[in-house]
A and B are shown apart, each in its own frame.
Chain A
Amino acid sequence: MRPPEELRSDFPALSQAAHGHPLAYLDNAATTQKPKAVLDAVRTFYEKDYANVHRGLYDLSVRATEAFESSRRRVADFLEASSPEEIVFTRGTTEAINLLAFSAGRSLLRHGDGVLLTEMEHHSNLVPWQMLGASGIRLHFLPVEDEEGTIDWNQIEELAKKHRIRLLAFTHVSNSLGKVNPAAEICARARSLGLLTLVDAAQSAGHQHLSVREMGCDFLAFSGHKMCAPTGIGALYGRRELLDALCPYQTGGEMVTEVRLDRSSWKAPPHRFEAGTPNIGGAIGLRAAIDYLQTVGLDAVEKHASALAAYAAAGLASIPGIRILGPCDHRAGIVSFVLEKVHAHDLVAFLDQEGLALRAGDHCNQPLLRKFGLAATARASFYLYNVREEVDRLIEAVEKTRRYFAG
């Protein structure tokens, strides 16, 4: 990997100051900054190749369509899917999971079936499934056993048999704990029990090498904006025969073959699931982001962020009264922590004054934090452009804040 100090210069937003300090952007689990290559690709597309897709017979529309569909092919390569038809563009992970829950609830799942989730799911991989309660589909949960994020995946078998589980949906990397779940192993186990699987890859896509082939999942959802792409673009991967079996989610233009006043018929996937004009510019940006990340090297990105998180966790651990969540070993680039007697909001307000941008709150993980007796944590999350010097500043600033509130 090019050194992170050098990669930083690819990201215009990172060169700004914050409260008189160089900005240390440590909120990458929420969203990532954009490299110039992505910004330029989007701008060039709008300046030279933009028109609506799949409609016009004129050259400009043909070019726009080709650019859009080539982005789909790029995403399919990126995920090692069998074909571009397995990639449905969505606004992001949230819309991808809503699409799957809505459509699976009407076409793959039946009244009395169960969906198995874990207690560490982001609200976006929980609430859409709750909506299926009205259809008689029940939710069951693999418990998180400790603050390291341990889950006993052996329980899948017993729960699956007891509750007629049809689908297991789980996060690849926990957005608040930084726990990495063994996706391939889990999917293999689920498959042997006849369960469908959805992997929430919001925190892993663009942060490590991903392959739906190696993982053996049936569905996978991710967001572009957490991997250098613009907001409003992401994708749902689904195995071809499963997407074929799913009813549409949103309906309208672009997703139909024949429309009569009283009925319509649907296109084949993926277009069946892409009603209306899609986020064409976003897809172009996503393609550029994938190009950028693959040039940098995803294995190196993973190693770098993980090493920074381990360094941060070790340094923060020396501060009196600190409690660090997440695994002791093999942590993704995420460190959540709480400081005794200092609320996470007060803490990040102080860190902000030092130019450090961190998130505080429940991280859309209310059930998990409640289980730990917490309402909010501060979270530092790292990406390819973060450097050790930023972690040193973080540790020093947390210690300074502790002293301030200790009075």
Chain B
Amino acid sequence: MNLKKNIAVSDSGFIFNPDTGESFTANPIGLEILGLLKEGLDFEAVRKKILEKYKTDKDTVEKDYHDFINMLNQFSLIEHEG
């Protein structure tokens, strides 16, 4: 599971899917997560990085991160290998 390679993400958090023409807006933390995914980090590694960087409890991160990834999936921004 990876972020689709052709998804364009601007510095302001504007996301464009060139396959479908759909666009979305991410908040600063969403943008940070997308940036890490674009760098090639896998979902687990991104989750760990966010937990390390921000002073927050694990459960909140787990839940919000899970919701965010579900949303990316729902909007067809993720490709499933194989």
Query: A and B bound?
Result: no
